[in-house]
Amino acid sequence: MNIVFAGTPEFAARALAALYEAGHSIPLVLTQPDRPAGRGMALQASPVKQLALARGSEVFQPVSLKDAEAQERVRQAGADVMVVAAYGLILPQSVLDMPRLGCLNIHASLLPRWRGAAPIHRAILAGDRQTGVCIMQMEAGLDTGPVLLSEALDIDARDTASSLHDKLAVQGARLIVDAIGRLPLPAVVQDVSGVTYAAKLDKGEAPLDWRRSAEELDRQVRAFNPFPGTTAVLDGAALKIWQAFPVEGNGVPGTVLAADKQGIVVACGSGALRLTELQKAGGKRLPVAQFLAGNGVAVGASFVLPKAS
């Protein structure tokens, strides 16, 4: 197949690599413009751009696909099919109509559950037992198109957004190669009764509210790892909590019940949370034993309760 690929982060790069390895021709790759990153805030190419350049594809980085010049560049590629994965730009109907076999999207959820920007994080946060990948025929609506191929994946009890992302990236790469090799595939219309939306993560969601259950807070810590990380305040110091486990325990929410090399145990609305990896502002992520070696935490101390939303 002659494929135009559109994607930006590592999730998309995995799929692009699989399409190259399957022997498809990819004359044009679309990706987001280079962004400032790192401490020096130097412009950094996306993982997709880096891979595309290494494999000899032309790279196009428009700020929009709504203007005629950008659309003409895509049209000239003469794609049989366009593959889209975590691209970050809206594709106008005129672009969706260009490829002979349309545009296929790799979406990291079992549609219609978790349409939108952050399906991996929202699945963990909600306590879902399963997620997966759908290969969807794209329409103008947000993840509304019919599903051509799907496969479920169990969510492990200790999965973070990072670990689940990596599993789904591998799954998505395999499924898109399979789907393209079997086109045309029957299209299954999504059941609108099961629609949920995976809103983009907001840093305002990061604070841990100790009045909630330990199980909910455990899911929050895992869903927000690596971005944006969950936050808490103890003795005036802002902390990020990177790893925690629900345990038995009772007390006033936010109260430290124990603090040793096994963890800092904090009372929750029900149960308790054992914090095992923490980070002070400006510091490094540390296992709890190292954290406590440089930061005393007294039993009976209280984490700040955020304002109730």
pLDDT at 308 over 90: no
pLDDT confidence of residue 39: 73
The overall longest dimension of the chain from CA atoms, in Å, is 68
Distance CA 124, CA 127 (A): 5
pLDDT at 25 over 80: yes
Helix spans in 114-272 (H): 119-125, 161-181, 214-223
pLDDT in tens, 198-226: 999 998 999 999 999 999 999 999 999 99
pLDDT in tens, 251-261: 999 999 999 99
pLDDT confidence of residue 41: 79
pLDDT confidence of residue 290: 97
- Mean pLDDT across the stretch 58-63? 97
Q: Is residue 299 part of a domain?
A: no
- Mean pLDDT across the stretch 72-85? 97
Q: Which domain-ending residue is among 198, 218, 248? A: 198
Q: Which domain-ending residue is among 145, 166, 198? A: 198
Q: Is residue 309 part of a domain?
A: no
Asked whether residue 81 falls in the same domain as residue 187, the answer is yes
Give residue 108's identity as a one-letter amino acid code. Answer: A
User: Which residues span the domain enclosing 265?
Assistant: 203-294
* Average model confidence (pLDDT) across the chain: 96
pLDDT confidence of residue 307: 83
b/e sequence 147-183, b meaning 16+ C-beta within 10 Å: bbbbeebebeeebbbebbbebbbbbbbebbbebbeee
pLDDT in tens, 98-119: 999 999 999 999 999 999 999 9
Q: Is residue 55 part of a domain?
A: yes
pLDDT in tens, 249-300: 999 999 999 999 999 999 999 999 999 999 999 899 999 999 999 998 999 9
pLDDT band at 155, cuts 50/70/90?
Answer: very high
Asked whether residue 207 falls in the same domain as residue 168, the answer is no
CB-CB neighbours of 250 under 10 Å: 11
pLDDT at 309 over 70: no
pLDDT confidence of residue 42: 85
Distance CA 219, CA 235 (A): 25
* Side-chain half-sphere CA neighbours of 66 within 13 A: 5
Domain count within the chain: 2
- Mean pLDDT across the stretch 3-26? 98
Asked whether residue 190 falls in the same domain as residue 211, the answer is no
pLDDT in tens, 224-249: 999 999 999 999 999 999 999 999 99
Asked whether residue 262 falls in the same domain as residue 278, the answer is yes
